[in-house]
Copies of this chain bind each other. A is one copy, B any other.
Amino acid sequence: MAKKRLGNQTIELENSPVIISACSIVGPKEGDGPLKDYFDKILEDDLFGEDSWELAESKMVREVIKMAIDKTDYVLNQVDYIFAGDLLNQLMSTSFAVRDLKRPFFGLYGACSTMSEAISLASMIVDGGYSDLVVAATSSHFCTAERQFRFPLELGNQRPMTAQWTVTGAGCSVISSSGKGPKIKRITTGKVIDRGITDANNMGPAMAPAAYDTIKTYFDDTKDEIESFDVIATGDLGIIGGQILLEFMQKANYDISNVYMDCGIEIFDHKRQDTHSGGSGCGCSATVFNGYIYKKLLNKELNKVMLVSTGALLSPTSTLQKQSIPSIAHVVVIEN
């Protein structure tokens, strides 16, 4: 077995790469939610001065990376790799954003799991000695996602109570081989899990089994204690999916309910903001992690965190072809 592996699916980062900086940008609705004080920038309008929502999302990616680097002693030109992706077909917002940044780029697609996918790969590359400075970023935008995955916004389509609300936001972590900040310790990479859910308006239940599989595997692989965590944060299972995850974990004798949170549940005030089962989108765990959780790690309110971004890998084509929803979740463990 390769020397840095632990159990079946987990690796240990011997050199503990550091998240030396993190940054988040959100839209007006997210900036009106319960976590508003933790975001670095709140847009006044979701076009961000651009001609289309797609270009606005792209601008968020570009700006969040620049702002995250500006918080460090480095300049953009010293970044060796950008690991990034988004929900749009052919990663439109990311591709156009990194074009202007002129740094080597690995494009990723993990649906809403992209934040922990990007941090996983970025940390391994730094830990392995291939770079001292890497960026991991992702984004989503309510308006680009709605028209791509669902209906034109102009239609004013009614949404079922199981639906989630795609977060308008972008988040970025800057990962370095040295410096001050919380450290990335372990990574458990998820498998694609599909339990046969076909309702694209109810993605929490599709993703919960994937989150369950990767979180349980982490504890099986490492023999770590649930109680040692201050927070176990899933990406965007929402109210329905989060409940299913907790039940699955309890049935397997892993009760995480005392330390559990879901970024999609925390980001909105669901009754007041009419967001139904919760927030979703790559930008959901990206902004909650790089905004809220990172700041709590910095001020030591939190000292050991598991981030589990969760992704539903469906497409409009697969839905039309009556396929079920494959899902994935990646675990990243961060400690002070």
Contact = CB atoms under 8 A, between A and B. Distances in A.
Contact of A105 (B106, B129, B192): B192
A60 to B, nearest CB: 16
A46 interface: no
A271 to B, nearest CB: 31
Nearest to A313: B95
Contacts of A4: 128-130
Contact of A128 (B87, B102, B107, B124): B124
Contact of A2 (B5, B51, B105, B132): B132
Interface in A88-147: 88-92, 95-96, 98-99, 101-111, 117, 120-121, 124-132
A295 interface: no
A189 interface: yes
Given A107-B117, A109-B109, A124-B128, 9 more contacts: A2-B177, A4-B128, A9-B104, A11-B130, A81-B189, A88-B315, A92-B318, A106-B110, A121-B121
A145 to B, nearest CB: 11
A269 interface: no
B106 A315 contact: no
Which are the 3 A-B pairs with shortest beta-carbon distances? A128-B128, A90-B315, A104-B189
A192 B99 CA distance: 5
A244 interface: no
A193 B3 CA distance: 38
Nearest to A78: B1
